[in-house]
Amino acid sequence: MTNAEGIGRRTVLCGAGVAGVAALAGCGGDKEKSAEELKGKEIAKVADVPVGGGKINTTEKIVVTQPSQGVYKAFTAVCTHQGCTVGGVANGLIKCDCHGSEFKIADGAVQRGPADKPLKEYPVQVKGGGIVVT
């Protein structure tokens, strides 16, 4: 059976299936980088990472935080729940907008689920005005 424009039911159903898969892809599949891949890369500027907050580097899929003055931490920006890239850092928490998980900026530990594993931490140091993975 086709409609007036000649599109069959099978075409419509196949298109709906592709759209559903595309929607699910937004919830996961972001690839976390290894420390070796990031080693030596400047991932943020010190001036861009506020005390008690952080900055997300979407290119490298990493979030840099400053839990206390002069202390910098870096974690994967890929949520451990279903692989979304986290969406923000505020009030001492790294927040994933996909399903509401929250992680502590000091150690990446889960503050609120549904995630049940902490964010992977990367070793960093300050070099000049930048934060570099070591």
What's the average model confidence in pLDDT over 26-54?
A: 82
pLDDT band at 6 (very low <50, low <70, confident <90, very high): low
Residue count (the chain): 134
Distance CA 57, CA 132 (A): 12
Give the DSSP letter of residue 99. Answer: T
Amino acid letter, 104:
K
Closest-CA residue to 29 (of 78, 88, 101): 78
Distance CA 23, CA 75 (A): 26
pLDDT at 127: 96
Identify the three-state secondary structure at position 32.
Answer: coil
Task: Give me the chain's average pLDDT, please.
Answer: 83
Query: Is pLDDT above 60 for 42?
Result: yes
Query: Is pLDDT above 90 for 63?
Result: yes
Strands (E), the chain: 42-45, 54-57, 62-68, 71-76, 88-90, 93-95, 102-104, 110-112, 121-122, 124-127, 130-133
Query: pLDDT tens, 66-117?
Result: 999 999 999 999 999 988 999 999 999 999 999 999 999 999 999 999 999 9
Give the DSSP letter of residue 120. Answer: P
pTM for the structure as a whole: 0.76
pLDDT band at 38 (very low <50, low <70, confident <90, very high): confident
pLDDT at 3: 47
Backbone φ, ψ for residue 19 (5° rounding)? -60, -40
How far is the CA of 103 from the CAs of 4, 12, 71, 87, 106, in angstroms?
Answer: 53, 41, 17, 12, 9
pLDDT band at 34 (very low <50, low <70, confident <90, very high): confident
Amino acid letter, 53:
G
